[in-house]
Amino acid sequence: MTGFVIPAPAQAQLPVVGGGAFPVRRVYCIGRNYAAHAVEMGHDPDREPPFFFQKNPDSLDASGQFPYPVKSQDVHHEAELLVALHSGGTDITTQDALAHVWGYAPCLDMTRRDLQGEAKKMGRPWEIGKSFERSAPVGPLHPVSDVGHLSSGEISLTVNGELRQSGDLDQMIWKVPEMISYLSAYFELAAGDVILSGTPSGVGPVVRGDAMELSIAGLDVLRVDVV
C-alpha cells in the first residue's frame, strides 16, 4: 500500500531571517526556569529539578496575531527564547549540546491560566491550558551563524507600551546546554525539535485589543496583536 488515505497535514515551520523555513518536529517547554517566576507561581526554585511539557508543532504561529482562545477568561503572556535544533541524539553532554543548535527566535508561551490552574488542582496534564491553537506566537528564526549563541542579554515584554516582564537570559536556572542534555536523557532529540526556555517574572493577563512586544537582545522584536 502506498500513499496517504487522507491529505497529509501541512508541515509546521518557522520563518527564517533572510529567507527559507525551518521544519518543526517537536516543541518542548521547560517550566519555571527563572527563579523570580517560580516564586511568583508559588514554588521554591532551589528545590526543583527541571521539568518539561509539550506544545504542538502547529501551535507555533508567525502571523503576528494571537486570537483570544475559547473556554478561557484568563489568558497570560509568557515571554520566552526559542532554541531550534538541527541535529540531536540521546545522552548529549552539556559540552556538546550547543553544537546541535541551529538558531534562536523570540516566542510567547500563551497560557489559558484558569484552565491550567484547574488541571493543577486535579493533578492532570497541562495541555488544555498550554497546547491550544496558535498558543505560541513566534518571530523569525535567527541562525547561530548570524547571532552566535545567546547566553545573556535582556529579555522583556511590553503590553500596550507598558513593561510587564523584564529579565536576563543568564538568569535561567537551567541553561540551554543543560536543557538539551537533560531532555536527551529521556527523549531522542532530532533535527526540527525546538525548546522554549522559560519565562522571567511578571506574567499576566491580556485582552482583545492588546499589543504585545517581546524583545530579546540580539534578535528582532516580536510584535503580536491580541484579536
pLDDT per residue as tens digits for the range 59-76: 999 999 999 999 999 999
Specify the pLDDT at position 35: 75
Q: Name the pTM for this structure.
A: 0.94
Pairing mode, strands 204-206 and 75-77: antiparallel
Q: What angle do CA 210, 216, 218 make, to 5 degrees?
A: 140
Residue the block writes with cell 484579536: 227
Write out residues in the chain with pLDDT < 50, as ranges: none
Specify the pLDDT at position 37: 56
d(CA 107, CA 141): 10
Question: What are the start-end ranges of the H helices in the chain?
Answer: 35-40, 94-97, 113-121, 127-130, 144-147, 176-186
Specify which residues 35 forms β-bridges with.
Answer: none
Specify the pLDDT at position 151: 94
d(CA 30, CA 32): 7
Handedness of CA 141, 145, 150, 156 (dihedral sign): negative
d(CA 38, CA 44): 6
Contact 180, 195 (CB under 8 A): yes
Give per-residue pLDDT as tens, 7-41.
999 999 999 999 999 999 999 999 989 976 555 55
d(CA 5, CA 78): 39
DSSP, collapsed to helix, strand or coil, labels residue 11 as coil
Rounded CA Rg of the chain: 17
